[in-house]
A and B are shown apart, each in its own frame.
Chain A
Amino acid sequence: MNPLDLYDMTRRRGGSRCTEIGRRIQAYLDGQLDADTMAKVARHLDACRRCGLTAADYTALKQALAHSSATVPAPQIERLRNFARSLGEGDLAD
């Protein structure tokens, strides 16, 4: 077993490692960390129930917010595409 995982499993609740990982959970879920740190956080979340639950909370929150987004209406996008095209065509007609 990775020594860090063992440490995670035996650490006291809310220990310094949890504090350190806790600061990175959101950036981890957003994929904003470098590969090494991503792997380190992932290992901790697998091994630490408390931090794992925190990550699950944030994941659920992000998913709920993402699902609340209205779809992008295709007719409006098409109109805007035509508008962009018309700017150039107007220039050509000058």
Chain B
Amino acid sequence: MLGTDMKRDRAEGFDALVGPHLEVLWRAARSLSNGNHDAEDLIQETLLRAYRSLDTFDGRYPRAWLLTIMRNANINRHRRRRPVLLDHADDIERAQQGGEVAASAEDVAVAAMTSPALVDALERLSPRHRDVVVLVDVEGLSYNEAAAIIGVPVGTVMSRLHRARHQMRARLNRVSDQWSNQP
């Protein structure tokens, strides 16, 4: 059992540890969730898990540590519910579930966009490509942070992101050409 001083140090240490990363956690959680309320629930679950495993954390890369915990918490909650993000298996499951899948990462980003052409270009991406665009370009996470939350190597994030932007650019250019060629 921890003494009072150790408990106080632990409590204050946790507060100082997670405080600077709450905004990034929020952006990541929003990309994994259906709305703000859902995102807040996911972050609370993440913080709870982080606090419980604080003794095993080596103190290095707290942001990556928190994002990895969030990823696992998200996988766990979707075992009980439905898949929202991320990889091939999820893509398949998502396709199998068809219209039952609720708004997620990309839906939230799409809803915030004002350009129909941009929305269309994002919606036409495969889910795995759309996810990295939302995490990196919309929510502003770094390649490393996106890799931690998706659970793939940084190189995979980069290649997916580049391919996704390439497809979006091509799509937007086609739309632009159509407009400029109209009589």
- A77 proximity list for chain B (CB < 8 A): 22-23, 26
| Chain B contact residues, majority secondary structure | helix
Per-residue interface assignment for chain A, residues 12 to 35, with 1 indicating a CB less than 8 Å from any chain B CB and 0 otherwise = 000000000000001100101000
Q: Which residue of A lies closest to B154 (CB)?
A: A32
Determine which of B19, B30, B44, B112 lies in contact with A68 in the assembled complex, contact meaning CB atoms within 8 Å.
B112
Q: A89 to B11, Cβ gap below 8 A?
A: yes
Label chain A's interface by main secondary structure. Answer: helix
Evaluate contact between A87 and B14: CB separation under 8 angstroms.
Answer: yes
Is A3 an interface residue when CB atoms closer than 8 A count as contact?
no
Q: Is the CB of B140 within 8 A of A69?
A: yes
Which residue of the partner chain, among A62, A76, A87, contacts B47 with CB atoms under 8 Å? A87
Q: Could you say which residues of chain B place their CB within 8 Å of the CB of A36?
A: none
Residues A68 and B113 in contact, CB atoms below 8 Å apart? yes
The minimal Cβ–Cβ distance linking A14 to chain B, given in whole angstroms, is: 16
Interface residues of B (CB under 8 A from A): 2, 4, 7-8, 10-12, 14-15, 18-19, 22-23, 25-27, 30, 36, 39-40, 43-44, 47-48, 51, 108-109, 112-115, 118, 122, 133, 137-140, 143, 158, 161-162, 165-166, 168-169, 172-173
Interface of A toward B, CB cutoff 8 Å: 26-27, 30, 32, 57-58, 61-62, 64-66, 68-70, 72-73, 76-77, 79-81, 83-85, 87-89, 91-92, 94
